[in-house]
Amino acid sequence: MNRFKTISFLYFLVVIHFNISCQISPSGSKRNSPKFDQQTKPISEKEFEKLRKKTEEISKLYPDSANFYAIRVMKIARTFNSNSKIAKALSTNAYVKSSQNLEDQALKLNQQSYLINNELNDQAEIAKNYLIFAGIYQNKSDYVNSTNYYLKSLKISKKEKLPSISIRCLRELSTININQGKPDLALKYGFQALAFVKKHPDDREKAKCFVNIGGSYQQLGNIGLTKKYYEDAYTLFLKIKDKQSIAWILTGLSNVYYAEDQEKALLMMLEAENIYKEIAPNNPIRISNIGNIGSVYFNFAQHFAEKNNFKNEIIPNSKEKLLAEAENYYLTAIKLSKNIPNNLYFIKQNLANLQAFEGDFKNAYTNLLESKNLEDSLFSQKNKNAIAKLESEKVVLELKTKNEKKATLIKILLASALGIFLIGFLGFRNFRNKQKLQNLKINQLEKDKQLLSINGVIQGQEEERSRIAKDLHDGLGGLLSGTKLSLTHMKENLILTEENAQQFDQSLQMLDTTIQDLRRVSHNLMPEALVKYGLIDALKDFCGNLQNSTQMEVSFLSFGEYRKLDVMQETFVYRIVQELINNAVKDAQATEIITQLTYLPNKLLVVVEDNGVGYDPVSVQDKKGAGLKNIEYRVQYLNGTLETNSSENNGTSINIELHV
């Protein structure tokens, strides 16, 4: 089971892009193709957009129908006599071709669409062009270009307020990092996508985000959170009746559960098989799932003495029936895998093991031999180009050898000269490296000394803030409250004219205002919520109070499992966020500020974004005030990194990664 299970699990991760990218009908059914009016007649712009959207939605499930309607979209676009409509039709055709893995055709069509949209300065359609470019390069496994285009699309979609494109970009960036084995970054993008979905609720998109987050935690080895997010995705897919996604997530969950509960994993595989059999009988994931079912039955049969009391009646309770079921599933998988040599190789090998276990050595030998031939064929196919290249290089080498012999003496002389030069160069480089190492050590010592000094200054500031806050609250605050109480009692015993009574009341109101301002100042110096309840509650209070006192929308979101940091660390993080938000309020002219805290096992990610006027980070590099320098000092103290993304009129996003 282990070898077959490994291949199946890797395949499950690779097809995340396929499954969560395509939109499917709520029922997931493929029995009836969608119907459109087949007449090419004038339609409204709204109907044109609806037809275009529907064509893209069916591109993976019904490729033939999608091709037909993509052509029709182009014909209708020409009836509008509009370059904008032509560009939209071209991008729809590109999307359909990309969905069918015809990447070169898709690239050409999308380039034509982009050129028109760029000339028209249609930012929304340019964002979509970038999204399609990214998907094309992602299908080609060119993750550098793919990431670049997703980031371009994301930047425009945020500015133009296109949440569906923003969510898609963030999810696919998460998928790319899962496929590249970068779970920390994948998790970051996954949670950012989820934050967008929470602001623009959509159960399907939410479920897809859960899949990405679960896949990230699976790579991090956190099986508990993997199960949680996969099961949450499964619940949502059930709610929206998305059958194909239900089968797909069940296949993934069965791989997660296999190590601890094979019976539960088997039931998930069987449930997925029933769905695949109904709506997607030729789906490659179904074939892998069938092979896995056979391997589980075979494993149960091999260890029947240990596992002869199954909880579910669906599972045969005899060794012979288990073997028969295993063989039946293997044979079904072989029948469906006729055009997939990789699957045939593993399944025939597993079938041969089963037949040998039953004593059917003749058929076991036949299947084992076929498996070996498939293995040889696969090896030969994989290496055909490499062998041809080597043979070609051999011929070229023979032709070159005759000319090279004539120049042997010259090469020897050049090699000798080069050797002498290299010896001198290496000796000089060794000397320089020693000097560099010494300078690095000196710089590090100076840096450590500076950091220690900064640490002392910042700690001293926090202690002084705490002392002043306590003195203000307990001393001056108590004195003012006592004064107010005394004046209130005095008023009751005095006979005042109406005018004097009014002035007396105004004085008491001014005293109330002074006490409130004093409490606010004291709270800012050392927030009570930070000391009593921790970082998250303190930041919620801060953002809530700021929103109540300004015209801005100030949001705070937290993700991951909360970890209590030590007092100094939580204070430093609070000061960092407080300073960044205050800067946005004072200078950014923003109407919306979003703060996110993401807790990872050994890291804390802080993101503060605003939709303000932005600025050029390079131009202000030498004009940093005390506030920004204090932020950098605190980030440096917490072994973190700070990244600023901003440009004029495009808002500001500050990403901080702290190792705490």
Model pTM? 0.50
> What is the C-alpha separation between 389 and 383, in angstroms, rounded?
10
> What is the C-alpha separation between 158 and 592, in angstroms, rounded?
13
Q: How much is the mean pLDDT over the chain? A: 78
CA distances from 21 to 42, 177, 223, 286, 447 (A): 31, 15, 25, 19, 48
Four-point Cα dihedral 581, 585, 590, 596, nearest 10: 10
pLDDT tens digits, 81-118: 899 999 999 999 999 988 887 889 999 999 999 999 99
97 within 8 A of 110, measured Cβ to Cβ: no
Instruction: Give the rounded distance of the alpha carbon of 357 from its chain centre.
Output: 45
The three-state secondary structure class of 137 is helix
Q: In this predicted model, which residue has the larger pLDDT, 447 or 483?
A: 483
Q: How confident is the model at residue 319 (pLDDT cuts 50, 70, 90)?
A: confident
| pLDDT at site 521 | 61
Q: How confident is the model at residue 492 (pLDDT cuts 50, 70, 90)?
A: low
| pLDDT at site 29 | 39
pLDDT tens digits, 593-639: 999 999 888 889 999 998 888 877 766 665 666 677 778 878 888 88
Q: How confident is the model at residue 392 (pLDDT cuts 50, 70, 90)?
A: very low
Q: How confident is the model at residue 370 (pLDDT cuts 50, 70, 90)?
A: confident
| pLDDT at site 209 | 93
pLDDT tens digits, 212-269: 999 899 899 898 999 999 999 999 989 988 888 888 888 888 888 888 888 888 899 9
191 within 8 A of 598, measured Cβ to Cβ: yes
Instruction: Give the rounded distance of the alpha carbon of 465 from its chain centre.
Output: 39
The three-state secondary structure class of 597 is strand
| pLDDT at site 566 | 84
Whether the pLDDT of residue 398 is over 60: the answer is no
pLDDT tens digits, 37-87: 444 556 888 888 899 889 888 877 677 888 898 899 899 988 888 999 999
| pLDDT at site 8 | 44
| pLDDT at site 613 | 87
| pLDDT at site 455 | 58
193 within 8 A of 167, measured Cβ to Cβ: yes
Whether the pLDDT of residue 527 is over 90: the answer is no
Q: Which range is least confidently modeled, 120-124, 130-134, 473-477, 584-588?
A: 473-477
The three-state secondary structure class of 369 is helix
Whether the pLDDT of residue 327 is over 70: the answer is yes
> What is the C-alpha separation between 255 and 6, in angstroms, rounded?
9
Q: How confident is the model at residue 15 (pLDDT cuts 50, 70, 90)?
A: very low
Of the candidates 230, 254, 234, the one whose C-alpha atom is nearest the C-alpha of residue 242 is 234
Q: How confident is the model at residue 5 (pLDDT cuts 50, 70, 90)?
A: very low
Q: How confident is the model at residue 384 (pLDDT cuts 50, 70, 90)?
A: very low
Q: How confident is the model at residue 585 (pLDDT cuts 50, 70, 90)?
A: confident
Burial pattern 203-227, b for ≥16 Cβ within 10 A else e, equals ebbbbbbbbbbbbbbbbbebeebbb
Whether the pLDDT of residue 1 is over 60: the answer is no
Whether the pLDDT of residue 397 is over 60: the answer is no
Helix H or strand E segment including 648: none
> What is the C-alpha separation between 257 and 321, in angstroms, rounded?
24
Sheet holding 641-646, edge to edge: 553-559, 592-599, 604-610, 652-658, 641-646
602: Cα within 13 Å, side-chain hemisphere: 3
| pLDDT at site 385 | 40
> What is the C-alpha separation between 5 and 563, in angstroms, rounded?
35
